[in-house]
Structures are given as structure tokens and as C-alpha cells.
Amino acid sequence: MYSPNRNYLWASTVVDQLARAGLRAVCIAPGSRSTPLTLAFAEHTDIEVFRHLDERSAGFFALGLARATDRPVALVCTSGSAVANFFPAVVEAHASRLPLLILTGDRPQELRFSGANQTIDQLKFYGDYARWSVDLALPEGDPPALTLRYLRTTAARAYAVADGIPKGVVHLNFPFRKPLEPEIVESDHTTSPLPISGDADELRRVHTRVMSGTNAPSSEQVSVTARLIREYEKGIIVCGTNCPGGDFPRRVAALAAHLQLPLFAEPSSGVRYLEDQHPLILGGYETFLNRMNVPLPEMVIRFGDVPTSKWLNDTLEQSPAHAYLQISADGVWSDDLHRTTHFIHCDPERLCAGLIEELPARQANEWSRLFARVEAATWMRLSESMQTAGFDGAFVADLIAELPAGTRLFVGSSLPVRHVDQFGRPRASGLTVYANRGASGIDGNVSTALGIAAADPQRPLVMLVGDVTLYHDMNGLFALQDRNMQNVTVVVINNNGGGIFQRLPISRFEPPFTDLFVMPHDLEFQHVAALYGLDHHVVADRVEFRQLIRNTTASQSARLIEVRTSISEDETARRRLIQQVRTEVESLLVTQGL
């Protein structure tokens, strides 16, 4: 930790403490004022550096890496508008509770609010989207031990807050005076091998370690939940977006089987594609709840955030449920319907285990059998009706069916995530599905996916995105070239504009609908593939598409598979399918006497 001047003493001290706290990755965008931070990270052997030319892509790449590893990732940029380009990723990280550490270079105090070039007000720049913001002290040439301890404790606290409950964003702002380069400044007393003096015991004392425990469920939380489950047997479990990882998916699936409760599983919840499947893990609800007379639950147990599905959310709103339990791992409220009767802040995995111990196993009953039959009938009719269909949802169904076991799938926002929710049939495969479902924007989706890929470059990753989403973040593909990641397949549904708007009432108003909402772009993506070194395939039909997806793990280079469809025909085909399923399900419900 050689420090030729005060700026490098500051930067290397903070970086070293972050590494001691557990930081293992940093995404760096080039810039001048952040030079001391950039070089301090480059010299630290315990932290991997990811290079990015574009701050917005860097932010989302870091977000994807944090999501895949479940640990904080750092971001470094220079002063000025570069700081603002992290903001979209900060918003998503805040909404999804993902841990980011943002380190920004800044002008010293005498240059702030002075008209100095590339200077903006960076203090608390991210507002309430950051869990903690610190404007660090200006570097000193001969700092006292107290000041150096302040740097270390601040860095340790920053890592702990980002990785805390809830996880989130921490912003450290570094004012630096010139020289920004690693030049020796004779008046600065900073050239010792370590940035503090003292014996070994003193060094250990100032290397702050922050420890926290788990939020185990109390006996009251378990007993109240168990009492409600006994009281209301016609219940459901809903696993929405941003569910906990670890062993939670298996635990909640085991709870559903133990209690014979239908489990509505968001694709990204980690539950829909478990290797150990059972008939009560449901994925067809966006179809079979669409204006169909499916019985409503008396009780709802919800994990994770608000589900993506429109029709599931409508059902929850219309439900006369006497008990609506929201189980929150981090204490963050997530119920836009305001139906919650019991907000339970505890470790969801442990709560599931406690309930299995507390409650006797149930046998299959009329309630559970009904939903299993509706789910099976839905997928049977969808499969039969989609055999020769060529719309975008059919390609998505093929993607989910054909992906090799163990593949990671990132699903883009807007239409793709809704198609996977509706047409991604549960399967015993061990697929891991990711999506940005915090703020749910289409910006930065490519970079997020590649950040996930970078967490384990040897394991295949497929990203499914729309054409407008890919257009928004083409810069993010630079990471493929820079990191030489070959096990990545980009599937783009190119329907020449914003297909999601076909589902909205504005689609009836023409003009201005096509011109100002769909915004046809007439873009094809072979030139994008060539620029970033991807193999490019335009699929002729679903047979060719399925073959390409089956060979995902055998591919020797990154690929871009382009599926070209028609916006208007896609939505017409989807609605026709829903009508066919409605006939099937309503007939089933009649035979059940409902």
C-alpha cells in the first residue's frame, strides 16, 4: 500500500478496508478526477477490476454481478455527469435491494459552486435511493491516526450498510486536489508501507469488522401464521419477484407440498424451475385467471415483491381473503393493493421450516386438486394450440422448454418478462431466472445480464430481450469483448417497436398510436452483432430456433439470435390462445360444480 501522496493514502486506505470487509469486484469507468481510486483498485490483488467505457452500462453490470453473487460490488467514476449516469442502476438497486458501493471522484470544496469545469453538486446526489451518503474529508498531507481510523471505519460501515438489512446503495464521494497522478509530493508524509503506524495489535484494532446476525422468526410469528393456516384451509402461496435465494425456493416448495397449498410461482422467484417439481407449483395463472371463474382464496401467504402478472394481481385484489400475510425478509413493505393483514418481518426460509414442524402434513384435498387440474388443463390446451403458431409467445415457450438444465436465463423487462410469466411452463430443470423487477425499466438490461454472466463465466447464460431493450443498451455488449465471455446467447424478439403498448387502451387510438407509442424503428441487428463480435442468426421458424437453443452449451462463441415477428399479429394470436384456454378451463370448472 505504497502512497506517494495524500490522495493515494486516502484511496488506498479505503480500498484496502473494503477488501478486508469482503469486497471482491469493482466496475470502473475512465475519468480524471477518480484517478487515485482507479489506481488503488488496480493495485489491490484481492479485488477484480471490470472495465467499462459507459457509466450507465457499468452501473447495471455491477447490479447484475451483485444479484448473481449476493454481495456488494463497487463502482468508480469521475466527477460531473458521469455520476448521474449511475442513477438508473441506483434506482433499480434500491427497488430490488441489491448492494452497490458507489465511489465518485469530486472537486475539492473551493471549486464547488464556482463554475469549475465538470463540477456539479454531488453531495447526497442519489437522495433517498442511497441508504447512506458520505462526503469524505479532504485528503491531508500529514493526517493524525484518528483521521486514518475514520477512513477505515467509514469504509467498513459503508460495506456493512450496503450488505445490511435491507441491502442497498451506499455513496462515498471523494474530493481530490491535484496532483491526481501517483507523483511523490515531498511535503506529504505518506510513504510508509502501511497507511498507519503502530504495532500489530494496533493494526488489528483499526481494521474494523462489522458483524450481523439473521432475523430468525419468533415463536409468536410461527404460531400466529400456523393458526391462520389452520383456520383458513383454502389458501394459496404467492412467490413474487425478488424472493430470497439460498435454500428458500426448496423450503417454500416443501411447505406448499406439506400443506397442499397451490403455489403461484413467478419465474424469477427461484421456485418455478426447481429440479424437484410437484403439481402445485403453478405457472399458468396469467392465462387461467384471465376473466375465468376460478375460486378465490380465503388466505394468501406472499413472499417476495409484487408479482408481475396482471391477472394474479387482479385476483388478489378481488379476493375476499380474511388473512393476507406478507412475509418480508428485510422489512420492506411491498403491497400496492394494501390488503396485508399481517406483516411478518423474519427470515422466510426459517419460517417455512418452522411451519413444517408446527403443522401436520395434509393430504390432497378438493382445493389442491382443483388447482392442479386447472394448471394441467391450461398447459395442455396451450401446448396443443401453439404447435404451429409463429407468434412471439410461442418462441418464448420453446426457449423455456429447450434450455439445457442448469442454464442461467436473464429476462428483459416489458414484454419478454410477461411472456415468460405466461408461457414459461414449470419444469424440473434447475433453470435460474433473473430479471430487473425493482423499477422494472428496460434500460441497462443487457449490462445486467452480462454482469450475471461474469459471476461465473464458464456457465452458460441466455438473455431474452426485446428489440427496444437491446437498442437501449447496445453499449453494454462491450463487456462481452472485454471479458472474452463466450458462453452467452442473446435472444432478441424484434417486432419493430414497443409491442407492450398493444395491450393498453391507447392502442385503439390511431393515430397517434403507431407513431408515438410503438415507434417503428426498422432496425435489424446483424451490424450490432458484427461490431461486438457475436455470431448472428435470423431464425426462419420455430424448428430452427429450438435447435439453436438446444445447442446453447455447445456453442463456441457468443451469439445473437434474432426472432422477427409482427406486433399486431403477436397480440392477436395471444388473445386467441387465451380464449381457447378459457373454453377448456370453464368446462372443467363446470364439471367440478363451480
- Condensed to tens digits (0 to 9), the pLDDT of residues 441-498 reads 999 999 999 999 999 998 999 999 999 999 999 999 999 988 878 899 999 999 999 9
Sequence ranges of the domains in the chain: 6-178+185-206, 219-377, 392-564
- DSSP H/E element including 481: helix 478-483
Name the helix (H) or strand (E) containing 172.
strand 169-175
Q: How far apart are CA 427 and CA 274, in angstroms?
A: 7
Using alpha carbons, select from 98, 85, 75, 70 the residue that is nearest to residue 18: 75
Burial 267-293 (b: 16+ CB within 10 A, else e): bbbbbbbbeeeebbbbbbbbbbbbebe
Element of type H or E holding 549: helix 542-550
Question: From 3.40.50.970, 3.30.70.260, 1.10.10.10, 1.10.1740.10, which CATH number describes the 6-178+185-206 domain?
Answer: 3.40.50.970
| CA nearest to 73, candidates 54, 100, 91 | 100
Strand partners, 173: 104, 135
Given a cut of 60, whether residue 421 has pLDDT beyond it is yes
pLDDT, tens digit, for every residue of 218-245? 999 999 999 999 999 999 999 999 999 9
- Phi then psi for 586, rounded to 5 degrees? -65, -35
Which residues make beta-bridge pairs with 491? 464, 561
Residue 21 has pLDDT above 60, yes or no: yes
CA angle 219, 222, 225 (to 5 degrees): 145
Write the CA distances from 93 to 41, 62, 380, 409, integer angstroms.
22, 10, 38, 19
- pLDDT (mean) for 315-344: 95
Judged against a pLDDT cut of 60, whether residue 200 lies above it is answered with no
CATH number of 219-377: 3.40.50.1220
Name the grid cell of 234.
383454502
Q: Where are the alpha helices (DSSP H) in 240-328?
A: 248-259, 285-288, 310-318
What's the DSSP call for residue 477? G
Class of domain 392-564: alpha beta
User: Using CA atoms, how far apart are residues 414 and 420, in angstroms rounded to an integer?
Assistant: 11
d(CA 431, CA 263): 18
At 201 the pLDDT is: 52
For 545, the enclosing helix (H) or strand (E) is helix 542-550
Peptide bond into 179 cis (omega under 30): yes
Q: What is the mean pLDDT of residues 533-550?
A: 94
Q: Give the pLDDT confidence score for residue 208 in this predicted structure.
A: 84
pLDDT at 195 over 80: no
For 464, the enclosing helix (H) or strand (E) is strand 461-466
For residue range 503-514, list pLDDT tens digits in order: 999 999 999 999
Matching CATH topology for 6-178+185-206 and 219-377? yes
Give yes or no for residue 206 having a pLDDT over 90: no
DSSP E strands in 244-395: the ranges are 263-265, 281-282, 299-303, 323-328, 342-345
Q: Looking at the predicted structure, is the pLDDT value of residue 158 above 60?
A: yes
Contact between 485 and 97 (Cβ < 8 Å): no
Query: What does the block give as the cell for 586?
Result: 370453464
pLDDT band at 116 (very low <50, low <70, confident <90, very high): confident
Mean pLDDT of 293-315: 95
- Does residue 405 register a pLDDT over 60? yes
The pLDDT value given to residue 163? 97
For residue 325, the model assigns a pLDDT of 97
**Alpha carbons 297 and 276: distance in angstroms, whole number:** 25
CA distances to 36, 86, 123, 127, 419 from 444, in Å = 27, 10, 25, 21, 20
Digit-coded pLDDT (tens) for 261-281: 999 999 999 999 998 888 999
C-alpha cell at 59: 452501473
pLDDT band per the 50, 70, 90 thresholds, residue 191: low
Mean of pLDDT over the chain:
93
Residues 6+ apart with CB under 8 A from 554: none
Looking up cell 478526477, which residue turns up?
33
Give me 88's grid cell: 438508473
Q: Write down the pLDDT at residue 192.
A: 47
Tell the residue number behind the cell numbers 478496508, with chain if given.
Answer: 17
Q: What is the pLDDT of residue 578?
A: 92
Report yes or no: 580 and 385 within 8 Å, Cβ to Cβ.
yes
Contacts of residue 177, defined as CB under 8 A and 6 or more positions apart, other chains included, come to: 7, 108, 138, 139
Pairing between β-strand 461-466 and β-strand 488-494 as defined by DSSP bridges: parallel
